[in-house]
Amino acid sequence: MSGIVQVEPLTTARALRGPFDYLRPDGAGVGSVLVVPFGRRDVVGVVTGLADRSEHDAVAPRRVLDARLPPELVDLALWIAAEYCSTPARALSLLLPPKGTRAKTALWASRAGDPDGERLTDGQRALLAGLPRFAAGDLAALRRLEGRGLVRIEPRVVRRAPVHVSVGATRPRPELTSDQRAALAEVLAATPGERLLLHGVTGSGKTEVYLQAAAATLAAGRGVIVLVPEIALTPQIVARFAERFGDTVAVLHSKLSSGERHDEWARLRRGEARICVGPRSAVFAPMEDVGLVVVDEEHDASYKHEGDPRYDARLVAERRAATAGAVLVAGSATPRPESFHALRRLRLPARVDGRRLPPVEVVDMRDARRAVHPRTHEALVDARKAIVLLNRRGWSNFLTCRSCGQVWECPSCDVTLVMHRHDGLLACHHCGHREPVPERCCACGSVSIARHGTGTERLESELEGPVFRLDADIADPAAVLARFQAADSGVLVGTQMVAKGHDFPDVELGVVLDADATLRFPDFRSEERTFALVAQLAGRAGRGPRGGRVLVQTLTPDAPSIALAAGHDADGFLVGELERRRALRYPPFSTLIRVVCSSEAPGAALAAATAVKERLGAAGTPALGPAPLFRLRRRERAQVVVKAGNRAAAVAAVGAAVDATAAAREHRPASFSVDVDPQ
């Protein structure tokens, strides 16, 4: 051993800040994963730096683990820790390969030595001739031949492959349209670190541009990362990459078995796979020399991670591309105002098949009596295949007693319980609490209980014909999508999951019920979300020879997000939305940071939030709030929000204010969560 390694122990404690010095084991460097003695325990740690000597009495690590992270990923994690007010340990934990798994091996037998002069039975000769194939029952016989030097038996690593490529099923690579050619040329000519927005209507051939840009990147000897929203809902894009590039593609996502994940991770790390396709976490693919990073459907909310560190994979992708000298391509039919503002725009204005986008009719629901307007009903009867979007799962939103007004609420959260009729349950959509559907009022005993509102489950039962439901209550979304695709006729009903990038050529009708549901949300992004939802659903209809149409039911037909989505005017929407945000100083013209304090102790959350706000004010960083939030999982909550021009300074100020408040005795009962760029 010579020199010192600086190790960040992977503990979750917020107060504990490394790195700590240890003696450097032979061959260890930045990215090495070690087991080190830490306090009275042994913990896993990652080497984040090297030094010649230490001011402390450094001790030796216990051992060096096999996995070794690329040093650039270690830097990326340290950046995430700072950018999102988290800790290095929590950010580094995102990089580690799946725990407790190893390579899988099988025995491999091959011929060795010369059998010609040997006395062998016919059975033994047949066995030798059949190698390397053999039956498990022949192993003993092979071991005897091994003893005579005629056979070599050794364990070999076998790959657990998550994607099965059907060779021969490959479609020919299409001739690009002139718009695609122009976009591809821009991607290939982009300077290292440049960020591009591929703004193309649904069906305009964005994926084909990614595929050909990936092929060119591989040909130049560099690697490719392709981020997609949830894999279960977008199997098509994974299949297209696998079909085009075969074993060069690794897929990383949480639904893989840990063995499969281990093998895909190792293939990337060894450089055997040079394209990684996966959701948000694939931005941490252990590859070297990445030349292209694609973020498909860049508007998708799943790119934001909900646990600490609350990173945004789109921003991490930009950072990774910038440091690796890679080109970043974000693609969407409904880009975020942030990307439209900051990235260089490439356009694919028309569908590849030359079809026009379907006409969108706005259905004014202000005097409607039922959840489904008669006009919508008629259109549904006429259409052979339709998609209906209703962003509310369950049967009814809430129950009330007709006699005394009792409302059924979650015992742990300040929200109403949603009825799920098939399961006979009332459920809290925030904490998972469940209870049986009441037969009578628990307050007055009345049996007259009213059910309010319509969710996807109720809609499913009310629509005619074959109905396919897709929402978070459905265990296997891919199977539902496959059944809908195979069906001759029917209606796909569900939450925003039905508006993701599916490509069904024969859908003639798209319907959005209650398009204002997202608009009613008190959030500066509600306009953007509503626009994206309507425009994305419109993109699912009318892809086939029979064309299509879209109906949007709304109580606010004049809201810009709805009217402009109906006119397929993404540019008009984005320009107007950016003006509004500039005037109100919302992102991208500022950075928002949200601090949520929570506690089971009454009043403690609000007191902690007040203290954070005061500390911020004293440090010259004004904050909005504190505002109470609804109680969640028995914890009261309160938040303060910082709207800042100088991002780095604000992140540092919030981090310091939260650390100081959390360390104060009187705020012990509270916990703190910091969200930079909250969604």
Residue 536 in contact with residue 333, Cβ under 8 Å?
yes
Q: Is 412 in the site for Zn ion (CB under 5 A)?
A: yes
CB of 402 to Zn ion, least distance (A): 8
Selected from 86, 180, 332, 671, the binder of ligand ADP by CB under 6 A is 180
Q: Is 202 in the site for ligand ADP (CB under 6 A)?
A: yes
Selected from 162, 200, 291, 358, the binder of ligand ADP by CB under 6 A is 200
> Residue 82, CB half-sphere, CA atoms under 13 Å: how many?
9
Region near ligand ADP per CB under 6 A, out of 135-143, 201-209, 419-427, 639-647: 201-209
Q: Is 204 in the site for ligand ADP (CB under 6 A)?
A: yes
Q: For residues 631 and 208, give the distance between their C-alpha atoms in angstroms, rounded to a whole number.
A: 47
Residue 352 or 498 having the CB closest to ligand ADP: 352
The position carrying tokens 């050619």 is 181
Residue 54 interaction partner, one of ligand ADP, Zn ion, none, beta carbon < 5-8 Å per kind? none
Residue 390 in contact with residue 455, Cβ under 8 Å?
yes
Q: Is 450 in the site for Zn ion (CB under 5 A)?
A: no
Q: Which two tokens stand for residue 544?
A: 């086939």
Q: Is 291 in the site for ligand ADP (CB under 6 A)?
A: no
Q: For residues 2 and 317, give the distance between their C-alpha atoms in angstroms, rounded to a whole number.
A: 36
Q: Is 406 in the site for Zn ion (CB under 5 A)?
A: yes
Selected from 252, 277, 410, 463, the binder of Zn ion by CB under 5 A is 410
| Cis before 626? omega within 30 | yes
# of chain residues touching Zn ion (CB under 5 A): 15
Q: What totals of helices (H) and strands (E) does the chain contain, helices first?
A: 18, 29
**Dihedral angle over CA of 531, 536, 541, 547, nearest 10:** 70
Q: For residues 76 and 318, give the distance between their C-alpha atoms in angstroms, rounded to a whole number.
A: 11
CB of 605 to ligand ADP, least distance (A): 44
- Please provide the distance, in angstroms rounded to a whole number, between the alpha carbons at the two ends of the chain: 48
Region near ligand ADP per CB under 6 A, out of 109-117, 141-149, 206-214, 619-627: 206-214
Q: Is 352 in the site for ligand ADP (CB under 6 A)?
A: yes
CB of 205 to ligand ADP, least distance (A): 3
Q: Is 358 in the site for ligand ADP (CB under 6 A)?
A: no
Residue 208 or 527 having the CB closest to ligand ADP: 208
Residue 207 interaction partner, one of ligand ADP, Zn ion, none, beta carbon < 5-8 Å per kind? ligand ADP
# of chain residues touching ligand ADP (CB under 6 A): 15
Q: Is 206 in the site for ligand ADP (CB under 6 A)?
A: yes
CB of 668 to Zn ion, least distance (A): 25
Q: What is the CA radius of gyration of the chain?
A: 29
Residue 174 or 622 having the CB closest to ligand ADP: 174
Selected from 8, 21, 179, 208, the binder of ligand ADP by CB under 6 A is 208
Residue 266 or 427 having the CB closest to Zn ion: 427
Residue 532 in contact with residue 679, Cβ under 8 Å?
no
Region near Zn ion per CB under 5 A, out of 374-382, 446-454, 458-466, 559-567: 446-454
Q: Is 446 in the site for Zn ion (CB under 5 A)?
A: yes
DSSP, collapsed to helix, strand or coil, labels residue 184 as: helix
Q: For residues 213 and 192, give the distance between their C-alpha atoms in angstroms, rounded to a whole number.
A: 14
Please, what sign has the CA dihedral across residues 438, 444, 448, 451?
A: negative
Residue 93 or 406 having the CB closest to Zn ion: 406
CB of 406 to Zn ion, least distance (A): 4
Selected from 397, 400, 403, 610, the binder of Zn ion by CB under 5 A is 403
Residue 38 or 398 having the CB closest to Zn ion: 398
Residue 202 interaction partner, one of Zn ion, ligand ADP, none, beta carbon < 5-8 Å per kind? ligand ADP
Which phi and psi angles does 396 have, rounded to 5°? -130, 155
**Dihedral angle over CA of 523, 528, 532, 533, nearest 10:** 30
Q: Is 500 in the site for ligand ADP (CB under 6 A)?
A: no
Which of 391, 473, 381 has the alpha carbon at shortest distance from 425? Answer: 473
> Between the CA of residue 287 and those of 219, 270, 572, what are the distances in Å?
16, 8, 40
Q: Is 176 in the site for ligand ADP (CB under 6 A)?
A: yes
CB of 454 to ligand ADP, least distance (A): 31
Q: Is 332 in the site for ligand ADP (CB under 6 A)?
A: no
Q: For residues 298 and 163, give the distance between their C-alpha atoms in angstroms, rounded to a whole number.
A: 24
Residue 597 in contact with residue 585, Cβ under 8 Å?
no
Region near ligand ADP per CB under 6 A, out of 176-184, 284-292, 596-604, 613-621: 176-184
Q: For residues 134 and 650, give the distance between their C-alpha atoms in angstroms, rounded to a whole number.
A: 66
Q: Is 349 in the site for ligand ADP (CB under 6 A)?
A: no
Which of 404, 312, 357 has the alpha carbon at shortest distance from 536? Answer: 357
Q: Is 179 in the site for ligand ADP (CB under 6 A)?
A: no
Q: Is 335 in the site for ligand ADP (CB under 6 A)?
A: no
For helices 139-147 and 122-130, give the axis angle rounded to 10 degrees. 100
Selected from 6, 87, 124, 207, the binder of ligand ADP by CB under 6 A is 207
Q: Is 441 in the site for Zn ion (CB under 5 A)?
A: yes
Q: For residues 503 and 482, give the distance between their C-alpha atoms in angstroms, rounded to a whole number.
A: 11
CB of 522 to Zn ion, least distance (A): 20
CB of 510 to ligand ADP, least distance (A): 15
Residue 288 in contact with residue 223, Cβ under 8 Å?
yes
Q: For residues 483 and 312, give the distance between their C-alpha atoms in angstroms, rounded to a whole number.
A: 33
Which of 223, 220, 227, 228 has the alpha carbon at shortest distance from 188? Answer: 220
Residues 6+ apart with CB under 8 A from 129: none
Residue 355 or 430 having the CB closest to ligand ADP: 355
Residues that bind ligand ADP (CB under 6 A): 174-177, 180, 200, 202-208, 352, 503
Judged by the rule CB under 5 A, the positions of this chain that interact with Zn ion are 401, 403-404, 406, 410, 412-413, 428, 430-431, 433, 441, 443-444, 446
